[in-house]
Homo-oligomer: A and B are copies of this chain.
Amino acid sequence: MSPSDSPRRPPFVHRITVRWADCDPAEIAYTGRLPYFALEAIESWWVEAVGLDWFAMHAERNYGAPFVHIDLDFRAPVTPRFPLDCEVTPTRLGKSSIAFRVVGRQDGQLCFEGNFVSAFVTSKPFAGRTTPPEIRALIEPLLEAGKS
């Protein structure tokens, strides 16, 4: 089977319950919660893709991937009336960084879309580092699959 024949991997979607605690007097999720939701979705992607949450990365591998950039466009309010589905797609794996696209939808409607870039660091001492090889080995196939 040639690469072009390979089945396209289904998108990774992390579902969030939007709670009373997340909403403000306008009866929608507070703006500041939306980056939290997107970050939670990205952390869930890490667990799925490489089997490590951020704490395990930090505690067991002595590395991390703190964010150096985020941007978000809000297209429709996020409400407590529906679950929030956050689709996470890795878009680029660099020499020492990784980029993601996150799209949030409720009941089929686009709510927000954004881009997130993380740079790899060693935890202790805190310092920049190149992409860990075991991370690269797991993520590159996902990026290839995403292109097919």
A residues in contact (CB < 8 Å) with B: 19-21, 23-28, 30-32, 35-36, 39-40, 43, 53-55, 58-59, 64, 66-74, 77, 80-81, 123, 126
Q: Are A40 and B68 in contact (CB under 8 A)?
A: no
On chain B, the residues within 8 Å of A53 by CB distance are 19-20, 80
What's the Cα separation between A32 and B30 when bound, in Å?
A: 13
On chain B, the residues within 8 Å of A68 by CB distance are 73-74
On chain B, the residues within 8 Å of A23 by CB distance are 24-25, 55
On chain B, the residues within 8 Å of A36 by CB distance are 21, 32
On chain B, the residues within 8 Å of A59 by CB distance are 25, 27
Q: Are B55 and A80 in contact (CB under 8 A)?
A: yes
What's the Cα separation between A26 and B66 when bound, in Å?
A: 10
Q: Are B73 and A69 in contact (CB under 8 A)?
A: yes
**A39: nearest residue on chain B (CB-CB)?**
B32
Q: Are B30 and A21 in contact (CB under 8 A)?
A: yes
**A47: nearest residue on chain B (CB-CB)?**
B17
On chain B, the residues within 8 Å of A66 by CB distance are 26, 28, 31, 74, 77
Q: Are B55 and A25 in contact (CB under 8 A)?
A: yes
